[in-house]
Amino acid sequence: MAATVYISCLEPKSTTELVKFIYKPDSVADINSTPVSKARASLERAGYLVRYDVQLRNTRFRATSLPILEYVRMVRHRDSSLEFDDPVYAALEKVIDSPWFRGFFSEKILRNPPRYAVYNNVHIESKESDITNTDKKGKLVISDAMRLATGILADIGAFGIALKQLDMSSNTFHTLDVQTMVAEPCFDDLIHQYQNTRAVELAQKLFDEISSYRMDTRGMPSDTGNTMVPEDLMQQISWKPGILPADLCNLMIRSTDRRPLTLLTTLEKVFVKKLTKK
């Protein structure tokens, strides 16, 4: 339950809103909210949730970046082949705290998770306790919050590197430096500042190329599988990774113990295809 509550609170929620979000009940009164309350209290004591909108009743709670950062540092400690300075981790925290990143865990996405390896940790459990992704009225279950969150980070990093490679000659993207990201209170303000039509078009061009590649639910290449990256997920990713510093993109790719090797290999094929067209 703790993993489900944490991911659910990446977008702030009260306990009542959590019960509605997780169970989708006809009436909140029909649900035993004790497991949700206990998990929420435990996460708050650990510093993984903070009170976001304090009210006499229905105080809302927001997930902090702390457990994700702890997990990333643990993964990097196990793999010391490449080290990153503290400012790069601080820039990563800015991304994790941004509404853009947290939008990957909206009700729309989690209640109808894309057929994509990263979201294999998201399930909708029916009343018969069968785990399925088809019953939107069932209980939301996140089996591994950290792999879910860092899987998204890794994909963002991969697309960040790809967009920079695609844009080497035109400088469409204003690549931020780490210091600028750390100094900016809200990363989304930088997104709005550097958005431009050419960046959107270039990202769509990459997504159009990616859409011709397919993989199975394990993330392996497959001629008969699903689109490599689902359309709604590509739209959420958008052009925004293109402005991220290269060091941050590299940290993101290495933030998980299950790196997006299939995606990276496919992106490499896209660039080979692009180069041979010249």
pLDDT, one tens digit per residue, over 160-218 is 888 887 766 566 777 889 999 999 989 999 888 888 778 888 888 877 777 776 665 55
User: What are the helix (H) ranges across 211-260?
Assistant: 231-237, 246-253
CA distance 231 to 226: 11
CA distance 105 to 96: 12
- Nearest alpha-carbon partner for 248 in 62, 124, 94: 94
Task: Give the domains, in start order, of the chain with CATH numbers.
Answer: 2-85+111-145 (1.10.10.10), 147-277 (no CATH)
Strands 60-63 and 139-142: unpaired
* Residue 191 CA: distances (Å) to CA of 83, 199, 215, 233: 27, 11, 30, 18
- Nearest alpha-carbon partner for 229 in 67, 144, 117, 105: 117
pLDDT, one tens digit per residue, over 218-250 is 556 566 666 667 777 888 888 899 889 999 999
As a dihedral over the C-alpha atoms of residue 65, residue 71, residue 72, residue 78, rounded to 10 degrees, the angle is 160
Q: Is the pTM of this model over 0.75?
A: yes
pLDDT, one tens digit per residue, over 116-162 is 778 888 998 876 544 544 445 789 999 999 999 999 999 899 888 88
Count Cβ atoms below 10 Å from residue 192 Cβ, excluding itself. 8
